[in-house]
Amino acid sequence: MQNLLCDHHTFDVTNLSNMPDTAMPNTKGKWLLPPLVDLCGVIADNEHASIKTESQSAKANGFLHVCTPPTYERPLDNVSVLDDLAKKASEHGINLHFIGALTQNLNGEKLANIASLKNKTVAVSNGRCGFANDDVLLRALEYAKTFDIKVFFYPNEPSLSKNGVAHDGYVASYHGLMGIPWIAETVALAKQLLIVEETDVTAHFSQLSCRSSIELIRNAKAKGLPVTCDVAMHQLHLTDDAIDGYNTLAYVIPPLRSNTDQKALLKGLQDGTIDAICSHHEPVNLTAKKAPFADSVAGINGFDTFMALGVKLVNDGILTAKQLVEKISINPAKIANIDNTHGAILVNPALAWTVNHDNLTSHGKNTPFINQTLVGKVEQVFFD
């Protein structure tokens, strides 16, 4: 067994047999890792899934810590609501962490009560919703800086992405789909970076998808700005070619981009520009996915295939096993200021399995990897 636990981890790897509800596993050729930390996973009670099903899925796939973002439907701006959601998730074995609302109801106009959210959230954000104007954005970041709370951004300029459902390129044009240009992301990102520089607020940029975004973050880091960023796992393995034939299982926001963008993401992952990989888990029922592409619901089951796709990055020589652990556990924990020193997961990096509806633990069966054979799986989860 290869022990890839970080130096500060407190889990006693010599005493696996004493862990509750487990038997001593066959560990030959396997990896012992710290629990995974997800910087963006949707765990909620809605028409697509429940807190119970998605918490259980997260746990089964090694995620003991999941940060969930605010949305219009669930702005995460009420402390009592956050406590209730966290309690429900903990009953099913995971720690649910919240990215609270930066403006009231995410309307981009009036600032939320960040002071009340500070001790209940890992950060604040306006999600993918826009701001009424740049003055609101400036005041919001100044306010967050005053309370020393991190701000998460999901860069998006709504006026440029409105009604779009796919990357603005040949594939979308061929299928007659409204495109989302890469500049919708980078225009917002460039503005946000400038105001981060002005306010000196600590910021994290999540789910970056295109080459220019990576270049902007690389330059910002070179200037010494207090910024980090992540990419969704599926963006590292898929391009907009995956939507060919109106494949709604590959419909995600931000959209799958071009081959050039994908290569830039992989390079940014290797050189350290990209700090972390998130699941961007968003379960969607198959009925919604069967609607015409533009009318279907964006989202992907990111939990079930996450580890296998991570192993593929190692097998393809993109990352070493140690670097993978940094991207999916160590760095995300640092970014969200989460104590990830309790528990461990056992991964079989050589286990081949075929993705099908029966072995997906999430209630959402929405994955473009359905019927594909992947290699690598979490076999056991341990607690200390």
Tokens of 1: 């067994």
Mean pLDDT over all residues of the chain? 94
Residue predicted with more confidence, 4 or 292: 292
Question: Worst-scoring range by mean pLDDT, 16-20, 82-86, 115-119?
Answer: 16-20
Per-residue pLDDT at 97: 98
Query: Is the bond leading into 254 cis (omega within 30 degrees of zero)?
Result: yes
CA dist list (Å): 3 to 7, 31, 79, 317, 345: 10, 6, 39, 20, 11
Residue spans per domain, the chain: 2-382
Instruction: Give 22's pLDDT tier (boundaries 50, 70, 90).
Output: very low
Instruction: Give 18's pLDDT tier (boundaries 50, 70, 90).
Output: very low
CA dist list (Å): 141 to 64, 150, 203, 368: 30, 9, 9, 37
In the predicted structure, residue 12 carries a pLDDT above the cut 50:
no
- For range 187-214, the mean pLDDT: 98
Cβ within 8 Å of residue 147, ≥6 positions away: 114, 115, 118
In the predicted structure, residue 16 carries a pLDDT above the cut 50:
no
Rounded to the nearest 5 percent, the helix, strand and coil shares of the chain are 35, 20, 45
Per-residue pLDDT at 25: 53
Residue predicted with more confidence, 5 or 162: 162
Tokens of 276: 């972390």
Q: pLDDT for 203-259, tens place per residue?
A: 999 999 999 999 999 999 999 999 999 999 999 999 999 999 999 999 999 999 999
What phi and psi values does residue 200 have, to the nearest 5 degrees? 65, 25
CATH 3.20.20.140 fits 2-382, yes or no: yes
Cα separation, 135 vs 131, in Å, equals 9
pTM above 0.85, yes or no: yes
Instruction: Give 383's pLDDT tier (boundaries 50, 70, 90).
Output: confident
In the predicted structure, residue 23 carries a pLDDT above the cut 70:
no
Q: pLDDT for 28-47, tens place per residue?
A: 899 999 999 999 999 999 99
Per-residue pLDDT at 15: 39
Question: Worst-scoring range by mean pLDDT, 2-16, 63-77, 90-104, 144-158?
Answer: 2-16
In the predicted structure, residue 17 carries a pLDDT above the cut 50:
no
